[in-house]
């Protein structure tokens, strides 16, 4: 059995972890969390860290003992410098709380990259976790809606770069702009995205720690992730009816199934696919056919097959990326955003300079 650490940092990371906790309780009702146990195949410890106490209070499925509040006003207001200083000042509190949980085989961190707390804590936290446990650390990084403003764009670019230079083994990109719309009902959009992430994470946990027909394990996952440029994405699809298994595989690696848009055939370095379903729907020759097409383009494809009685085909894909056009575009916009902020500061208000050289007359 694997020992897994999951940490959600900041509001976005906390909410995703809360959704993971919710889904891990299975079908149980809200009350279920008081009476039932979470349904993990592995030994999973979940911890949420935030500077804003209100963000912690809104969580519903994360136990009080798993919430770490670092007092700092009401968050760091998207200011990453303030965030980094706050982490450094409170590093012991955070690390002690994690260390008390024992040892782990792998760590997952969840955060947005556009905000302040999560985006500034996470690169530093990744280094600390690596130093403490010497385990692989994977960071789910949530990219902002592109219209959220220049500070979020700047933060995203700098945070991703710092994560890439940190001890984190890889970043699994999750793109708000691609998965939802920032329109009228932002809460519903967040919920929808968080559910998609949580579902994939739970599926992955089951895949890494289960009795399989064809096995994938943490070693395969690590090798898959090591293939790219420290960036990755994940896909998921399920299908029913005629040709369900082939459809599910195709969709799990197509843009429609991914958490971050990528052209799998051009941009993926390595892949891991986990296929689940009833014995009747798992047509091994169809699976082989689909995977052969993928293998002909992508360096290495690991595959796992999980039998679940009565289940329609479901497919999880993990894809490490060697390049990303979409990420290039995000950086282009971030550079513009930094320039805009600079220009704005330089120009300032002309009002005060109108008095230059004048003294008051009485």
Nearest partner of 172 among 2, 12, 18, 320, judged by Cα: 320
Near ligand GTP by CB under 6 A: residue from 21, 51, 141, 324:
51
User: E strand or H helix at 53, and its extent?
Assistant: helix 53-57
76 contacts which partner out of Mg ion, ligand GTP, none, CB within 5 to 8 A by kind? ligand GTP
Mapping DSSP onto H, E and C, the string for 290-355 reads HHHHHHCCCCEEEEEEEECCCCCCEEEEEEEECCCHHHHHHHHHHHHHHHHHHHHHHHCCCHHHHH
Is residue 162 close enough to count as binding ligand GTP by CB under 6 A? no
Q: Which is nearer to ligand GTP, 83 or 227 (CB)?
A: 83
Q: What residues contact residue 210 under an 8 Å CB cut-off, 6+ apart?
A: 41, 306
Is residue 5 close enough to count as binding ligand GTP by CB under 6 A? no
State in angstroms the smallest separation of the CB of 50 from ligand GTP: 6
* Chain residues that interact with Mg ion, rule: CB under 5 A: 11, 52, 75
Largest Cα separation within the chain, whole Å, is: 96
Q: Which is nearer to ligand GTP, 14 or 304 (CB)?
A: 14
Measured distance CA(222)–CA(278) in Å, rounded: 27
State in angstroms the smallest separation of the CB of 45 from ligand GTP: 21
For residue 111, the cross-strand partners are 141
Q: Residue count at the site for ligand GTP (CB under 6 A)?
A: 26
Q: Tell how strand 67-69 and strand 43-50 pair up.
A: parallel
Is residue 116 close enough to count as binding ligand GTP by CB under 6 A? yes
Near ligand GTP by CB under 6 A: residue from 4, 7, 10, 138:
10
State in angstroms the smallest separation of the CB of 12 from Mg ion: 8
Which residues contact ligand GTP (rule: CB under 6 A)?
Answer: 10-12, 15, 51-52, 55, 75-78, 112, 114-118, 142, 144-145, 148, 152, 176, 190, 193-194
């Amino acid at each position: 059995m694997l020992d897994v650490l999951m940490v959600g940092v900041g509001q976005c990371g906390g909410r995703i972890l809360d959704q993971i906790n919710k889904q891990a309780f299975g079908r149980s009702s809200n009350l279920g969390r008081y009476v039932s146990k979470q349904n993990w195949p592995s030994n999973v410890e979940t911890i949420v860290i935030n500077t804003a106490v209100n963000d912690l209070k809104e969580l519903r499925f994360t136990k009080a003992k798993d919430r770490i509040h670092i007092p700092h006003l009401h968050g760091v207001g998207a200011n990453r410098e303030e965030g980094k200083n706050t982490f450094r000042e409170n590093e012991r509190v955070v690390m002690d709380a994690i260390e008390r949980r024992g040892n782990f085989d792998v760590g997952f961190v969840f955060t947005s990259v556009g905000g302040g707390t999560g985006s500034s804590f996470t690169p530093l936290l990744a280094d600390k976790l690596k130093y403490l446990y010497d385990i692989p650390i994977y960071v789910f990084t949530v990219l902002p809606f592109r219209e959220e403003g220049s500070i979020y764009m700047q933060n995203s670019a700098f945070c991703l770069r710092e994560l890439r230079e940190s001890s984190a083994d890889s970043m699994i990109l999750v793109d708000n702009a691609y998965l939802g719309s920032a329109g009228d009902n932002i809460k519903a959009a967040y919920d929808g995205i968080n559910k998609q992430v949580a579902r994939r994470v739970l599926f992955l946990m089951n895949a890494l720690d289960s009795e399989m027909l064809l096995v994938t394990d943490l070693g395969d996952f690590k090798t898959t992730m090591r293939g790219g440029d420290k960036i990755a994405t994940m896909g998921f699809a399920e299908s029913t009816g005629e040709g369900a298994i082939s459809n599910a595989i195709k969709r799990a690696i197509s843009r429609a199934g991914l958490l971050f848009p990528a052209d799998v055939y051009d941009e993926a370095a390595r892949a891991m696919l986990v296929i689940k379903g009833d014995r009747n729907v798992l047509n091994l020759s169809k699976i082989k056919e689909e995977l052969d097409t993928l293998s002909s383009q992508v360096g290495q494809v690991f595959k796992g097959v999980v039998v679940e009685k009565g289940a329609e085909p479901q497919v999880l894909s993990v894809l490490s990326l060697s390049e990303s056009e979409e990420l290039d575009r995000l950086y282009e916009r971030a550079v513009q955003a930094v320039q805009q902020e600079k220009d704005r500061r330089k120009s300032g208000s002309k009002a005060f300079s109108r008095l230059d050289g004048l003294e008051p007359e009485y």
